[in-house]
Structure 1
Amino acid sequence: MTREEFDAAARRLPGATMDVQWGDDCIYKVGGKMFAGTDGGYTNCSFKVTDIAFEALTEQGRARPAPYMARAKWVMFDDLAALDPAEVEGWLATSHALVAAKLTRKARAEIGLA
């Protein structure tokens, strides 16, 4: 997956924004809460996954627990370019949905997720 594909897929999600934080990391948010991130060069990517996906992806060695965020069930893929774009789009949509579900009803309504 290319940086352009990742950025477009993340920004297509309802209410998604991107901020540059912690140096040059690109952090994608919904309602002010992180749902995905990459390093500035878009060489790796991280996002929240379900408990089952976290176990499967880390046990199979496809991903590793994301630094600082593993306790919240985030995974990191070290080579974004090697990932299938359709698969990443699905993970981004799932991560977005998991994070958006925790927003207040008012916040969800403000970004069109009522």
Structure 2
Amino acid sequence: MTNDEFNQFCAALPVTTHVVQWGGADVWKVGGKVFAIGGWGPKQSDGKALPAFVFKTSDLNFDFLSHQEGFRPAPYMASRGMKWIQQVDNSAEKDEALTYYLKESYRLVSLGLTKKKQRELGLNQQPTQ
């Protein structure tokens, strides 16, 4: 996934906002809370850094992804006990997994918002009958 594809995907999720901060990273939020970050990963042997994407995970997914090739605990966040993963392999075969984890991160973060904020944004509401 490219940075442009990442931004298009995150923009398509309901009530998201985008800011550029932390040294030029694309930071995506729902209800004012970060759910995804797009930026640059570790430098390659040629000195160039490829796109890398950071997202929040469940405890189980964090444990699983921490040991998968192309993923690692997110620098800074994971060292502070937060369950965030950085995908450093942006090959096309990882796109489906990345879109799943970005949606899941969005869901986890939106569920962490206050009930009042969720109602204001129209998130996680039970259908009325």
Alignment partner of 1:53 is 2:61: yes
Please tell me whether the aligned partners of residues 36 and 92 of structure 1 are also in contact (alpha carbons under 8 angstroms): yes
TM-score under structure 2 normalisation? 0.79
Name the % identity: 39
Task: Please say which of residues 10-19 and 83-92 is displaced more in the overlay.
Answer: 83-92
Task: Please say which of residues 21-30 and 40-49 is displaced more in the overlay.
Answer: 40-49
The CA deviation at 1:42 is 6.9
**Residue equivalent to 1:24:** 24
Task: Determine the C-alpha separation between the residues in 2 that align with 1:80 and 1:25.
Answer: 16
User: Residues 42 and 101 from structure 1, CA distance in 2 versus in 1: closer, same or farther, beyond 3 angstroms?
Assistant: farther
1:35-74 pair list within 5 angstroms: 35-39=35-39, 43-70=51-78, 71-74=81-84
Which 5+ residue runs of structure 1 have no aligned equivalent? Answer: none
Which 5+ residue runs of structure 2 have no aligned equivalent? Answer: 41-48
Provide the aligned length of Structure 1 versus Structure 2.
114
3-state SS, counterpart of residue 14 of structure 2: coil
Task: Determine the C-alpha separation between the residues in 2 that align with 1:105 and 1:42.
Answer: 38
Deviations 1:31-76 (A, max 9, x none): 0000000116871110001111111111234311101211210001
Relative contact order (alpha carbons < 8 A, sep ≥ 6): 1 or 2 greater?
Answer: 1
**Residue equivalent to 2:14:** 14
Please tell me whether the aligned partners of residues 71 and 89 of structure 2 are also in contact (alpha carbons under 8 angstroms): no
The CA deviation at 1:110 is 1.8
Question: Larger Rg: 1 or 2?
Answer: 2
Task: Determine the C-alpha separation between the residues in 2 that align with 1:42 and 1:104.
Answer: 36
3-state SS, counterpart of residue 61 of structure 2: helix
4+ residue segments displaced more than 3 Å: none
Root-mean-square deviation (CA, aligned residues, Å) is: 1.9
User: Residues 92 and 105 from structure 1, CA distance in 2 versus in 1: closer, same or farther, beyond 3 angstroms?
Assistant: same
Of 112, 126, 129 in structure 2, the residue corresponding to residue 102 of structure 1 is 112
Task: Determine the C-alpha separation between the residues in 2 that align with 1:22 and 1:83.
Answer: 28
TM-score under structure 1 normalisation? 0.88
